[in-house]
Structure 1
Amino acid sequence: MTISVYGMTVPIFTRMLTNLLAIIDKAEASAAERKFDTSVLSGMRLAPDMIPFRGQIMIATDHVKGCVSRLAGREVPSWPDTEETFPELRARIQKALDLLSTIKPEDLDGGDEREVTLKLGGKDVTMSGQAYLTERALPNFFFHVTTAYAILRHAGIPVGKRDYIG
């Protein structure tokens, strides 16, 4: 059995972003209970040289919009990376979910065979849609969602594997 490009993208991205919204809700509730501002969480990172929580959300949603747009042969929407607060981050995730809701299975038909060109290390790199999806888009998406989860978990937010997986 083969899984369609649509099946490997839209449902997976939708589920994980929806789970991320629920995790943010838990973080917000925990911050209120522990009496601290969520802006502390928004700027948290696991190591000094890594991207903070808010950046993890931005990059995860960038991979969503980039992936489905490229595989559908569409222009990738440009979203400014200006979100700082939990409401702004929540709105960005919702914007990605709204984009996903517009993608139909037929939009991604042939996406695995479509050539995708990315700038990597300052150079144009062209690969098949399948290679892009399985070697770049999905691993990067999961890396940033997992890192966002790990930052909140490290901060003492009471989330676990069930929250991550849904």
Structure 2
Amino acid sequence: MSLTMYQTSVPVFVRGLKILSTLLGKAQAYTIEHGQDPADLLNARLAPDMLSLIGQVQRASDTSKLSGQRLSGVAAPRFEDTETSFAELEQRIAKSIAYLETLQPAQFEGSESRTIQLNFGEFKPSFTGNSYLLTFALPNFFFHITTAHDILRHNGLPIGKLDYLGTFN
């Protein structure tokens, strides 16, 4: 049996978001344990021209839900990017997961050949659903998860590769 577009998207996004949620829980506990202002971690970035931890979580959320929308045809919820706390980021992740979990495999049938056009101003790449998922959506999603992990690690959290990989089941 071949892998389906559903199998290679929704469960992967849900798992990544759950791992990101676990990382945020560890970050929040770390700030409490060390008497640190949570804003220091939430606004931390790896380089001045990169998004903060908040921005990384927002983009991972957006990538997962908009990919679900583009591949299934089911409208995703829109979030305003107003999160300023760990609790608000956790809520955003939970809402993203809740949306993804409403999607059904049948809604992805034929999506591998669907045309997906993105709009980044003057840059408007066009993909088949298959190439969109494999060359844009998944790499973009994991870039933001990885960068969030790296921001936390760079700022002293005792996390490593196994925290990034999560549980295996």
Shorter-chain TM-score bucket reads over 0.9
Q: 1:56-106 deviations in whole A, cap 9, x for unaligned? A: 000011000110100012334321111111111111111111011101111
Aligned to 2:57: 57
Query: What TM-score do you get using the length of structure 2 for normalisation?
Result: 0.93
2:14 matches 1:8: no
Q: What CA distance in whole angstroms lies between the structure 1 residues aligned with 2:75 and 2:34?
A: 43
Matched residue, 1:23? 23
Query: How much does 1:121 deviate?
Result: 4.3
Gaps of 5+ in 1: none
Q: Which residue of 1 aligns with 2:99?
A: 99
The Cα shift of 1:107 comes to 1.3
Percent identity of equivalent pairs: 42
Indicate if the aligned counterparts of 1:26 and 1:158 stay in contact, CA closer than 8 A. no
2:79 counterpart residue number: 79
Indicate conservation of the 8 Å contact 1:39/1:86, yes or no. no
**Unaligned 5+ runs, structure 2:** none
Q: Which residue is equivalent to 1:37?
A: 37
SS at match of 2:125: strand
Deviation digits for residues 113-147 of structure 1, max 9, x if unmatched?
Answer: 11111103424332210111111100000000000
TM-score, reference length from structure 1: 0.95
Aligned length: 166
2:119 alignment partner, SS class: strand
Matched-pair contact (CA < 8 Å) for 1:5–1:111 = yes
Distance 1:31 1:101 in 2: 31
